[in-house]
Amino acid sequence: MNLIKGLYYNQTPNNSIYNKSKFYKNSKRYNKFQQNYSQSLYSKLNKNKNDIMNNYTNYYSNKNINESIRMMLKDQKGSKFIQKTIEEKSSEFLNKLYEKIKNNLFEIMTDQYGNYVIQKFVEYCDKKIISNMFTKISNNLYEISINNYGTRPLQKMIENLSGNMTNNDINILLGMTKGNVLELIKDINGNRVIQSIIQHIKNKELLSPIYKELNENIIEILKTKSGCCVFSKVLLNITDIDLSLLVENMIKDFNILINDEFGNFSLKRLIKLNNENYNIKIFPCIKDSITLFSCQKFSSNVIEACIDNTTSLKKMTIDKLIENDNYIAKLILDQYGNYIVQKALQNAEQKEFGIIINIIKMNEKKLKQSQHGRVIYEKLMKNYKQYLIDDKSEKSDGKINNKNGKNKKHNNGNKNKNKFGGNKKNK
């Protein structure tokens, strides 16, 4: 009998203890037996590991060994055993192993335990083998991408070929995405594969087919959490031509994105590129509704980004806010708008800063009287106290403090007197 089969797959002993009733299966005695048996089995496997490696050709000449290896990879302990053997970095072992699994890659990659073996195998094997693996799974690439287990080894394969992909590898990956970009991005597993492809295919121009499909469904994609994550990768590896086409469609539906839970983050990332050409196109979209956007949960994030950047968009946004005193007066009392005012104070130049401070002073009473205003006023006092308090009020506060100081001294003097009016005797 084959060594691996004898040690591993015929592991159920003809033992009366093992085949006892359900009482034993629920008992500590049965569990202890099973644990001890498993340990003894794998100690034998480890002892004979060298024999397996040295006589690999003989073992694998058996016609049934393919089935044995396939089953071993799909078992938890068998998977761990093969992974440890892979870590020994024997090129002979890796080549022989690949010969036995190459026709079952789809099955192994989508298996609960087999996927870990492929991930480990890809770390140590030759790049040419990974390219060959892409060819073998090309017909099942989409199914692997959206599979809970298959997505992990596939990402590893793409990652390990980063910068060394052949034209055939790129064509296989792009062929898989053709017509499936929207479905992949919306899928919890597929979107990670798309991100990996965008990140590791270094030639930006080759990614244009993906961006073309993305552009056709840009609003639907950016309104999802996974789409927002993909867009962040896109911004790091896209040509100017493809990005300008994306920006045009985003500007068309700006009001939809700015008020969306995830869409607003994509607009923020776009603004943070600090590209003058794109940011100039954004200002006309916000100028007529700047107070409305500033007082809403999601859109206020975008207004903050407009203020906190290095392009002319910052100055235009702040100038618009101080154009009317009522804008700042309204925002400082709002639970979201007050953050816009604080961000404006951090980024404003001296002239604009003074205007905002004066408006806050004029509305100081309203701030102290409102529920949100009191909290906001305390924050402003911590950071801008020297600007918010006038010299007169400081002097008056000083007089009150001096009076309080005198009263305290007077009271301290009274402490030395007893309840009858006499001084306490020193002991």
Judged against a pLDDT cut of 60, whether residue 420 lies above it is answered with no
Q: Which pLDDT score, from 0 to 100, does residue 379 have?
A: 78
More confident residue, 171 or 374: 171
Residue 417 pairs with which residues in a beta bridge? 423
Eight-state DSSP code of residue 394: H
Q: Is the dihedral of CA 125, 129, 134, 140 positive or negative?
A: negative
Nearest in space to 300 (alpha carbons), one of 263, 339, 247: 339
What's the rounded mean pLDDT across residues 352-373? 85
The pLDDT of residue 62 is: 41
Cross-strand partners of 423: 417
Mean pLDDT throughout 202-212? Answer: 94
pLDDT single digits (tens) 304-322: 999 999 889 999 999 999 9
Task: Specify the range with the lowest mean pLDDT, choosing from 191-200, 256-265, 342-351.
Answer: 342-351
Residue range 165-191: mean pLDDT, rounded: 94
pLDDT of residue 366: 85
Q: Has residue 30 got a pLDDT over 60?
A: no
Cβ-Cβ contacts under 8 Å for 286 (sequence gap 6 or more): 258, 293, 302, 303, 306, 317
- Nearest partner of 230 among 195, 203, 256, judged by Cα: 195
Residue 49: name the closest of 74, 75, 73, 84 by CA: 84
Give the DSSP letter of residue 8. Answer: I
Question: Which tens digit of pLDDT belongs to each residue from 263-281?
Answer: 999 999 999 999 999 999 9
pLDDT averaged over every residue in the chain: 80
φ/ψ of 309, rounded to 5, equals: -150, 175
pLDDT at 56: 41
Cβ neighbours of residue 42 under 8 Å, at least 6 residues apart? 77, 81
SS3 62: coil
CA dist 35 and 178 (Å) reads 50
Q: Which two tokens stand for residue 269?
A: 């990332």
pLDDT score at 397: 44
Percent of the chain with pLDDT over 70: 75
Q: How confident is the model at residue 51 (pLDDT cuts 50, 70, 90)?
A: low
Q: Which of 104-113, 261-270, 384-393 has the lowest mean pLDDT?
A: 384-393
> For the whole prediction, is pTM greater than 0.85?
no
**Least trusted range by pLDDT, from 4-13, 260-269, 379-388:** 4-13
Provide the pLDDT for residue 169: 94
The amino acid at residue 78 is G
Q: Which range has the worst mean pLDDT, 12-26, 77-91, 104-118?
A: 12-26
Which DSSP string corresponds to 161-187? TTT---HHHHHHHHHHHTTTHHHHHHS
Distance separating alpha carbons of residues 272 and 308, to the nearest angstrom? 8
pLDDT digits (tens, 9 = 90+) for 122-156: 999 999 999 999 999 999 999 999 999 999 999 99
